[in-house]
Structure 1
């Protein structure tokens, strides 16, 4: 038993919660029937949006919980929010190493993220070298340098995350442009096939069938004229 608990606590993904056993066909049919009856009492057409109260213990897991009142919830120890916003560095108790969004364009200058990222990358390399020197000389004084490197990494990552909305827009534009180009290519292929078919039909219209040329306006000899002449001469001899 102890070995099993150790394996569960050390596994990457925990075992499924025990309430999955409540999702049986009988329980699902029971809660759907209860929702339908509640909807009829409340005069609601869509029974799926009806919330039931005082459910039996075996049916409680079949009803989704309400949205969190504060907009936050935890999954596997991580905190999530209904409104996905980038938290501020000050809220995370992290020292800011680049200007605030409110103060960036106050002087009319453009905020160059690439330049700030390059400066942070160079500062990280320099502080890492200084950290290695402190480990060799005075390891007890290295904690402040480790804190500085941590703040630099978090600022670096935070600045990249500020660029995520622009990256999402550019990715969407690229996807829509690719779809438009693909649609235009398919349309051009259909037009080429149509033109090729028309040329083939025009070529078939000029082919010869027997001794006649389809579409030729020159007068052709009547194929029954010889037979009529033969019958006419035969009748003349008889008479």
Structure 2
């Protein structure tokens, strides 16, 4: 039994991460502010590596880069089948992709049937049919991947449309709630206004009652002083007040 080299999913961290100590970062800050020569002249000690290596590298703007041992291009471009060392089965340029995809699908079905036939009659040809089927599937996958940018744009457009509709519904709901609240505030204001008018009426009635009581008390006092009962008389002003109270 042969042993296989199994690579870890995530690589080990590089050894230079040990250089990022508080002391080295403080030295880097002083060197950037005052210069390397001034730092050494002031008695500072530089580490045994280039201190500027602690700064993060500038972002890559062109070419390619490596991430977890995989090579990636800066500009996200779908590589062609030729660049991936695969045979292209459909023509390049402006084509009817739906029709070409159907052709590839029919070819995949036909080659699958040929594979089943070869497994029975000519097993040695089965590997060739498997390679042909794999090539067809690679072409179908590549054609689908070419639709990724279009799908991303449509998904973004749909997402923005949904956000706009949600904001419109939220705005309408807020306006509806504000209108209901304004009506309730108007009702409360009307209630307070009616209560104020009622308080004013009660105060006016109380004032008239006090005036009437005082008038009656005065008349009673005058009545006790006169000997002829026919001389008792309520003044015209008191009579008018009593009539107004009855009307109200």
Residue 151 of structure 2 corresponds to residue 167 of structure 1: yes
Q: CA deviation at 1:181?
A: 1.3
Q: Which residue of 1 aligns with 2:175?
A: 191
Separation in structure 2 between the aligned mates of residue 37 and residue 120 of structure 1, nearest angstrom: 67
Q: Is the 8 A contact 1:127 1:145 kept in 2?
A: yes
Give the structure with the larger helix fraction: 2
The answer for the alignment partner of 1:44 in structure 2 is none
Asked if structure 1 preserves the Cα contact closer than 8 Å seen for 2:62 and 2:75, the reply is: no
Q: How many residues align?
A: 209
Deviation at 1:168, TM superposition (A): 0.9
- Whether the 8 Å CA contact 1:19–1:61 is kept in 2: the answer is no
**Secondary structure in 2 matching 1:73:** strand
Q: Conserved in 2, the CA contact under 8 Å of 1:22 and 1:58?
A: no
| Matching of residue 222 in structure 1 with residue 204 in structure 2 | yes
The offset of 1:68, in angstroms, is: 5.7
**SS of equivalent to 2:65:** strand
Specify the alignment match of 1:20 in structure 2.
17
2:198 paired residue among 189, 199, 212: 212
RMSD: 3.5
The answer as to whether partners of 1:8 and 1:15 remain within 8 angstroms in 2 is: no
Contact 2:63 2:74 in 1 (8 A): yes
Structure 1 residues 28 and 132, CA gap change in structure 2 (3 angstroms): farther
Q: TM-score, normalised by structure 1?
A: 0.71
Q: Give the number of the structure whose alpha-carbon radius of gyration is greater.
A: 2
Q: Structure 1 stretches of 5 or more lacking a match?
A: 1-5, 42-53, 105-110
**Equivalence for 1:177:** 161
CA offset digits 1:9-47 (Å, max 9, x no partner): 443222222222222222222223322335xx9xxxxxx
- Superposition TM-score, scaled by structure 2 size: 0.69
